[in-house]
Amino acid sequence: MRERGLGRHDAPSDPDELAALAARLGLDVMVLDGYLLDPRCGSALRAAGVTVLAVSDGPFGAEQEADLVLDQNLGAVADPARSGVALTGLGFVLFRDQVLRRRRTPETPASPGSPTRVLTVFGGTDPYAAGPVVVPLLLATGLPVHVVAVAARAEIAERLRALDTGPGQSLEVVPPVEDLAALAVTCDLAVTAAGSSVWEFLCLGVPAALVCVTDNQAVGYDAVAAEGVAVPVGVLSALRDDPAARSTAVEALHRLVEDPAARLELTDRGQRLVDGRGRQRVADAIEHHRLTVTTGP
């Protein structure tokens, strides 16, 4: 933030105090992105003359009043009961520069006999310790594989390093990296939580297998599975101790690790759905709304 000349201010939880802060800073637009925000924040900001963009995941965050509503989930549709301009679907996904710079075209699959290189990552903190649950499922495929496991915390790294690998398998445990996209494009497959990072992998052209880690990820997880642009592995709570769920997950991972053509097909589908121009569309929508309010339709 500092290198871009951006300041940081702690946001007060009280809606009126937030609106007062926006007025002191002379803000024209505010983005509200958080399921635990007071639902009155949007109305307080709008009353103060601030244009509000609220981010939601289906029903999560949907109670916030806003001028524009952004739901980046695949298959998201406008809620007719909710006011505000609806920006829905993968055409509005917001990407950082480092993701857009790394976007690739479909590549030739790894040659036969080369271990498939698989990235596993479950968010910046992996709060539910998904890594130590999912990585053993990859190893249980019994296939030659090189797993690059991002360990968000020291205790997770310790548990991962203690795992046994089979013939032709290797496990590389790495700390969180600033440029995840750069690491991802060196891999043949990513296994990840069904959050917003999924859209990054689709944009990059890295085929993905998904784990539904939390309830708010279920919307995106189900939509992606139905569309066939990523492979569902299972729900984390079931993968911990349900033998049937674990067996199904191993089968799904086995198919992906073993079949480069299937991975290439996922790459093609994902990049056709996610073109990387979402932030431009969102910025244009905000400016259009402000101009319309200022000058009239």
Tell whether the model's pLDDT for residue 100 goes beyond 70.
Answer: yes
Q: d(Cα 111, Cα 260) in Å, to the nearest integer?
A: 9
Domain boundaries of the chain, sorted by first residue = 2-94+277-295, 98-273
Per-chain mean pLDDT for the chain: 91
CATH topology match: 2-94+277-295 vs 98-273: yes
Burial 14-43 (b: 16+ CB within 10 A, else e): ebeebbebbeeeeeebbbbeeeebbebbbb
Q: pLDDT, tens digit, for every residue of 56-80?
A: 987 778 889 999 999 988 888 888 8
Look at residue 205 in the predicted model and tell me its pLDDT. Answer: 93
End-to-end CA distance of the chain: 36
Measuring CA to CA, which residue among 193, 131, 124 is closest to residue 152?
A: 124
Look at residue 80 in the predicted model and tell me its pLDDT. Answer: 82
For the whole model, what pTM was predicted? 0.82
Section 271-282 average pLDDT: 93
Tell whether the model's pLDDT for residue 2 goes beyond 70.
Answer: no
Tell whether the model's pLDDT for residue 116 goes beyond 90.
Answer: yes
Kindly report the CATH number that applies to the domain delimited by 98-273. 3.40.50.2000
DSSP 9: -
Strand, coil or helix: what is 79? coil
DSSP 177: -
Tell whether the model's pLDDT for residue 297 goes beyond 80.
Answer: no
- Domain 2-94+277-295: give its CATH architecture: 3-Layer(aba) Sandwich (3.40)
Q: Which two tokens stand for residue 103?
A: 């976007």
Instruction: Please check whether residue 39 is in contact with residue 64, taking contact to mean a CB–CB distance below 8 angstroms.
Output: yes
**Contacts of 297 by beta carbon, 8 Å cutoff, 6+ apart:** none
**Ranges 123-127, 206-210, 237-241, 253-257: which has the least confidence:** 123-127
Q: pLDDT, tens digit, for every residue of 209-251?
A: 999 999 888 888 998 888 899 999 999 999 999 999 999 999 9
